Amino acid sequence: MITYEDRRLRTLADQGRWTELLGRHRQARAAGRLREAGQLGHLIAFGAPPELAARLFDAEGGPGSTADAGDHDAGPLWEVLATRHSWRRLALLLGPTEVRRLVLHTRALLGEDLREGAEPDPEGVPLALEPWELAGWEERNRVREYLRTGGARRALFALPGSLEGLGPVDLPGRGETVPGLAATRLLSGYAPWLDAVCVRGTAPDAIAHLTTARRITGGYLPLGHAYPTLVLAASDTPAHGTAQGRLALWRVLTAMTGAAATTLPEIRGLAARLRCFTWSEPDDELRYLHLALEDPATGLTWALSGALPEPAYV
């Protein structure tokens, strides 16, 4: 239901009264009215000139009035802003904060190559997508499509997306689990609806821990085809943007290499050798992820599995 106040705020946006809207946003946020602040912030981040929209994240409004990386409506306010302007327009307007970093990575997801002309990422994640990241992901599906007056559209994720190329596979007994690995800890916190396991063995050895079936329909696929679902699954709430999903996955891959910090040659080597196996489950509906990642160099396989029966938001 669109209220009188909603219409009034949209009228202010249509009239370009951005300073007034920014003042109302700061008042709402400082008073703890976070939903109202999120709605106001969305209007500003989407429609205001970048010089004013970037002021959502500065501290000039006083205690409690500043938006941060967690402020959102249909999606994070920093992601809305990043979809509207190039990094060249935003670089001098955003301070050295987490917001700045996430905007940088969002622009990279949207096709900008920022490996030169922007500060390096503190974790060493490149500011341009690698070829294996690009392989199975259309640009228009990487980041939510935000609407001017609120709301957003985002591609649903499903892995496997179809049964094409998959076939029957008999599962062996459960493989020997490998406890205590950093990559497994990261995957266990990847999304609240996912279960994770690491075993010494192959994909079927790991999958046997995550399904009750003894025969599944599954098959191997390139990492690039699994990559979009992995990123979207890690950023599947309005409070998170796709950049956070990409960073979460790079942390997992770094941990799989056994390195303490991201080293691009090691990540590229891992991406080239990983064998990805996906399978279907009878109760799969709209959003689900079933994937095993075999590393033949170490003999380890990590597997993830889970499903959301209904979209958390549209």
Q: 158-308 adopts what CATH topology?
A: Protein Transport Mog1p; Chain A (3.40.1000)
Position 312 scores a pLDDT of 47
- Cβ neighbours of residue 257 closer than 8 Å, sequence gap 6 or more: 263, 266, 267, 269, 270
Within 13 Å and on the Cβ side, how many CA atoms surround 125? 22
Position 313 scores a pLDDT of 46
Containing 292, the helix (H) or strand (E) segment is strand 287-295
* Among 230, 266, 254, residue whose Cα is nearest residue 122: 254
For the stretch 181-192, pLDDT in tens is 999 999 999 999
pTM of this prediction? 0.94
Say how far apart CA 310 and CA 52 lie, in whole Å. 37
Low-confidence ranges of the chain (pLDDT < 70): 1-5, 309-314
The residue behind tokens 């050798």 is 273
Say how far apart CA 92 and CA 78 lie, in whole Å. 15
Position 4 scores a pLDDT of 53
The 10 Å Cβ neighbour count of residue 159 is 24
The residue behind tokens 């160099």 is 297
Q: Which residues pair with 295 in a beta bridge?
A: 300
Position 1 scores a pLDDT of 46
Position 7 scores a pLDDT of 79
> What are the sequence ranges of the domains in the chain?
4-128, 158-308
Give the tokens for residue 2: 């669109």
Q: Are strands 215-221 and 275-279 parallel, antiparallel or unpaired?
A: antiparallel
Inter-residue contact 225 to 192 (CB < 8 Å):
no
Q: Which residues pair with 289 in a beta bridge?
A: 159, 306
Which residue pairs from 1-7 have beta carbons closer than 8 angstroms and sit at least 24 positions apart in sequence? 6/39
Say how far apart CA 103 and CA 146 lie, in whole Å. 15
